[in-house]
Chain A
Amino acid sequence: MPFKIIKREITIEKQIDDFLDKTSESGLLYKHGVDAYLQGKIEIFKSKHAAIVELEHKADSLRRTVEEQLYSQTLIPESRGDVLELLENIDQLLDRFKGALWRLDIECPVIPSAFHTDFMELVSYVLEAVEAIIRSSRAFFKNINEVADHLHKVSFWETECDKVTTRLQKVIFRTEDLTLSQKMHIRDFVRHMDKIADVAEDVADRLAIYVIKRSL
């Protein structure tokens, strides 16, 4: 019986780690996907898109397994609500990465090369914010005292994202050789990317509360 419990706990630890790995990987796929789209490498973009869809599907099933185990085996009764919420919030980030590539695939926006650098800068800052929240989440499970070391970085990268978004929107709307509809179309994509960093910051705020609740 004792070994069974320890084995069960180790299994769920691995599953959560795996879920966080998949979220991190989906961020990298998103970055490569956007880069390929901007460079016009449609085949590579399609492969990244297909990979992120599959990854999201696997992550979803992993999350459901973890959540089911948390409740059916009455694990961490005092924190399971928080853990459940955290996993679902992180899953939202994964969904947004997938959604961004879907939008590019469906809407095929024409993005002038003048915006490419700023676009990639925004993508990398979004990725930094998401990586910081993943590191914070890992610390939440493994060493709660380290959470604060990563959590403040989420806010930093979110602010950086806001700066780039504002700058990019200004440039977009000051460009004369684009129609208003094109400008608004590109603006929507910028906002969609920035929204991922906003969600990451919301997750960080919730995580800060879970840490206070769990501090012995």
Chain B
Amino acid sequence: MFAFFLLSGMFLGWSLGANDASNVFGTAVGSRMILFRTAALCCGVFVILGAVISGAGTSQTLGKLGTVNAIAGAFTVALAAALSVYLMTLARMPVSTSQAIVGAIIGWNLFSGSPTDMRVLFKIVITWGVCPVISGIIAIILYKMAAALIKFGRVHMFRLDALTRYGLLLAGTFGSYCLGANNIANVMGVFLPVSPFTDIRIFDMISFSAAQQLFLIGGVSIAVGVFTYSKRVMMTVGEGITELSPVAALVVVWAHSLVLFLFSSQALESFLSSHGLPTIPLVPVSSSQAIVGAVIGIGLLRGGKSIRWRTVVGISCGWVAAPVIAALISFIALFFIQNVFQQETYLSARSLNTTKKVSIEIKEDRRESSAFLHAGNNRFNSD
């Protein structure tokens, strides 16, 4: 049954892979600097690695926003996020999976009457606002550095082309890892509290936690999305950003990848806190926001005349609309699942107490039966 309920999360993972892989490899594949096959392979492998190795940080933040405590609820929340992503994509509105899942969780909180931690919500919303700004600043710095290197290095046009290809592949691979690490919480985060998986130890050496097993499934679904549907989106993105030179496109992808890394690296967080520095919150951010921020950064560096501010306002409206729409869909879908399909979408305080009581009774029963078996064995041995 858990496998069926997980399908909505996998669908969300698939749509994330189909859409967000274009942020990482879109320019490279669209401009035909890297083959789709190579890009998809790198992206698929490194998204899975990022999700399994470094996906825990952002999941904890998302868990603090609202703990979806029933499997049908988790199913509906993920489905609502996936549906809002799908509908907004159909309406040609820019959409972020991170915003959709946060909206859907808030919808669940409202439906179940659970309180929303406003402090965590505020932290997440502030991060969304800061993410494109940081991305833009990083893009400006990287762009200046690249321009200086090319000017003083006197790189031949064709050698620069080869270096840009390697750079795009490297940035795409790093970006895929960071995408997996940062965005896996969107896909599988809601299933963590209801996951039936247990920790596995292989040869007492490698520990594979329950969360990592869940992230592996999510990572694979993202990778499937990359392989099956991202090519069309990549071509569209690549053709859409042709006004950027390949070096500028490389800078944009690097800035995006670094931003995703900053908001998902637990190692960086512990490094900063150990040195008494302010830490960066581990929050799932939108890779599309990071890309748009970087592109605007480069546009501003060129004087800002080429930026279509009306489009930027349209994109920003989409960012505000995404969580609201997801929350609305989530609320309606939860109502539907609860009342039409008679599925428990949340465990109330009373049912939680009952569950606790039942689990205590089961434990006691187990203890008694093991004591009985133990006594029986002793009698058998003595006989």
- A interface residues (Cβ-Cβ under 8 A, vs B): 2, 5-6, 8-10, 12-13, 74-79, 83, 140-143, 145, 214, 216
Contact = CB atoms under 8 A, between A and B. Distances in A.
Contacts of A13: 156, 158-159
A142 B159 CA distance: 9
A6 B162 contact: yes
B242 to A, nearest CB: 7
Q: Which of A2, A12, A78, A79 has the most CB of B within 10 A?
A: A78
Contacts of A78: 31, 242, 245-246
Contact of B159 (A6, A79, A216): A6
Contacts of B159: 6, 9-10, 13
A74 B32 contact: yes
Contacts of A142: 154, 156-157
Nearest to A7: B162
B147 A75 contact: no
Interface of A is mostly: helix
Contacts of A5: 162, 165-166
B124 interface: no
Contacts, number: 52
Nearest to B243: A78
Nearest to B159: A9
A141 B154 CA distance: 10
Contacts of A77: 31-33, 246
Contacts of B31: 77-78
5 contacts: A5-B166, A13-B158, A78-B242, A83-B157, A216-B247
The range of chain B's interface size is 20 to 34
Interface of B: 31-33, 143, 146-147, 150-151, 154, 156-159, 161-162, 165-166, 242, 245-248
Contacts of B143: 216
Contact of B162 (A9, A83, A140): A9
Contacts of A6: 159, 162
Contacts of A83: 157
B247 A79 contact: no
Given A74-B32, A74-B33, A216 B147 contact: yes
Contacts of A10: 158-159
Contacts of B165: 5
A143 to B, nearest CB: 5
